[in-house]
Amino acid sequence: MVVLGQEVSDPLSILTRGFVFDRRFRIINKIGEGNYAKVFKVKDQITDRTYALKVFKPEFIDDPKFPEIFKKTFESAKNIKHDNVVELYWASQDVNGLYYYVMEYVDGGSLSDRISQGSLLISDAIKILDDIINGLAYLHGKNIPHLDLKPSNILLTKDGKAKNIRLHDRS
């Protein structure tokens, strides 16, 4: 794939600190990576807001089924508004054809990160579990299954509120 006039084998490798993705989102840092995508903390050059940018790996550009899956996932999630579910703002493709979602940025790390720091107080664990259950109940009430519930897919705000990430394996 040609990116910025150069042939690159992995176009996501150029997404480093300071790079402006799709002429709008300045990369601050990479915050995660999975089988399907990389996720970055970005600053929107137009609104000056901070978001999470999920950029799907380039192999999906040529997958004839992916555009429909991408669109259906966005359509099912775009109107989900709940304190315990990460909000999805929009979906698009960049000039190179890479698919991406722009999502709420959650500033406290994952539950997995928190657990690795040591044991949780019982009161904190109960609050986090309550938040997870509330988010999941809301999603299930909308007929949207989570599909990949695990500590690394539960994000925590700095004040300790848990937010489910609902898009990891929908795509």
Q: What's 132's domain CATH number?
A: 1.10.510.10
The answer as to whether 31 is a domain residue is yes
Q: Is residue 160 part of a domain?
A: yes
Contacts of 64 (CB under 8 A, 6+ apart): none
pLDDT of residue 112: 92
Burial class (CB in 10 A: 0-12, 13-18, 19+), 40: buried
For residue 151, the SS3 value is: helix
Q: Is residue 95 part of a domain?
A: yes
C-alpha dihedral (81, 101, 64, 152), degrees to nearest 10: -80
Specify if 171 maps to a domain: no
In a domain, 81, yes or no: yes
Query: Does 169 map to a domain?
Result: no
Per-residue pLDDT for 8 more than 80? no
Which of 22, 44, 148, 169 is catalytic? The answer is 148
Q: Which pLDDT tens digit goes with each residue over 43-82?
A: 999 999 999 999 999 888 889 999 999 999 899 888 899 9
Q: Report if residue 74 sits inside a domain.
A: yes
| pLDDT tens, residue by residue, 91-117 | 999 988 899 999 999 999 999 999 999
Identify the pLDDT of residue 144.
85
73 lies in some domain: yes
The range of the structural domain enclosing residue 115 comes to: 2-164
Give the count of domains, the chain.
1
The mean pLDDT of the chain is 88
Rounded Cα distance, 171 and 157, in Å: 24
- CA quadruple 83, 164, 44, 27: dihedral, nearest 10: 150
Catalytic annotation present for 148: yes
